[in-house]
Amino acid sequence: MTLRIQNLTIDCHDPYAVAAFWQSALGWRRTQEEPDEIILEPPAGSPQDGVAPDLLFQRVPDPTAGKIRMHLDLRPDDQQAEVDRLISLGAKKVDIGQGPDTTWVVMADPEGNEFCVLKVLTQ
């Protein structure tokens, strides 16, 4: 098969602010910058380079209509340390009704785009 995902597009009002958050959060590099869109890619030469989809931050005037149907799940080495670091970068915890036994932390970036920080379960 010759089909692969090139990028995940994130609609936002301020692509510069949202891309800056994710660039710091992931340690990715900015490879394209236009007035209304920015592309982030994994670090050059890393195992993800050329494999993981790029992140495209695209300016849109429309507000988010209801719950988004796709989000990122992030897998850290240390969940609490990453949650604390992401909060220091501008993210916030979000309550979407997750129960007390939930092992992931639901968060939102500076524009409210939700993502989850997973807890790495040891075997």
Q: Which CATH number covers residue 45?
A: 3.30.720.120
Residues 109 and 91 in one domain: yes
The CA angle 26-31-35, to the nearest 5 degrees, is 105
Structure tokens, 25: 């959060």
Task: Give pLDDT tens digits for 42-58.
Answer: 999 999 999 999 999 99
The total of structural domains in the chain comes to 2
Q: Is residue 45 part of a domain?
A: yes
Residues 27 and 75 in one domain: no
Residues 76 and 113 in one domain: yes
Distance CA 114, CA 91 (A): 9
Range of the domain at 100: 71-123
Number of helices and strands in the chain (H, E): 2, 8
Residues 80 and 34 in one domain: no
Q: Is the pTM of this model over 0.85?
A: yes
Q: What is the mean pLDDT of the chain?
A: 92
